[in-house]
Amino acid sequence: MEKEAVIKYKNDDITIVWKPKMCIHSKLCWKQLGVVFKPAKRPWVDPKGASTERIMEQIDKCPSGALSYYNNKEEENIQVKTENIVEVMENGPLLVYGNITVKKDGGEEVVKNKVTAFCRCGQSGNKPYCDGSHTKINFKG
């Protein structure tokens, strides 16, 4: 099984976790908190660029779940306890909130938590997940 790329950025309170393959390039993070999320810079995340509370608030808005965080004093793999909610994004993916298990063709099972974005446009290079391709093809639906 291919290991998922995970990049971490730490401040005194939390560790920000970025999973690039999950990112659907909604741009919410850098449009709403550009002092922390700077796509033109390397590293692109400055975990000390704003208060921890403000960073957590912004990460909670990440529609794909590519950005997440955990308290440095807690375990990394805390499962998010939420009901499963399914949301259709206009002209974009299907978002499933909550802890789910995705069963693939070969029997492989992948546990997802927080938010999982599934492709609705059929053009993702990372099916069944959305990879942001819907914006390139101007998907309507």
Gap between the Cα atoms of 17 and 120, Å rounded: 26
Which range of residues in 10-18, 31-39, 54-62, 127-135 is near ligand FES by CB under 6 A? 127-135
Q: Looking only at residues 44 through 73 of this chain, which bind ligand FES when binding is defined by CB under 6 A?
A: none
**Pairing assessment for the beta strands 14-18 and 67-71 based on DSSP bridges:** antiparallel
CB of 128 to ligand FES, least distance (A): 10
The residue among 11 and 64 lying less far from ligand FES, judged by its C-beta, is 64
The residue among 51 and 91 lying less far from ligand FES, judged by its C-beta, is 91
Which range of residues in 9-17, 26-34, 102-110, 130-138 is near ligand FES by CB under 6 A? 130-138
Residue given tokens 């299907």 in the structure block: 94
> Which pair of tokens denotes residue 110?
């992948």
CB-count burial class (<10 Å; 0-12, 13-18, 19+) for 20: exposed
Gap between the Cα atoms of 91 and 59, Å rounded: 22
Member of 47, 63, 65, 92 binding ligand FES (CB under 6 A) = 92
- Tell me if 133 contacts ligand FES by CB under 6 A: yes
- Tell me if 113 contacts ligand FES by CB under 6 A: no
Q: Which string of b and e fits 28-67 if b means at least 16 CB within 10 Å? A: bbbeebeebbbeeeeeebbbeebebeebbebbeebbbbbb
Member of 29, 33, 36, 121 binding ligand FES (CB under 6 A) = 121
| Interaction site with ligand FES (CB under 6 A) | 24, 92-93, 119-121, 123-124, 130-134
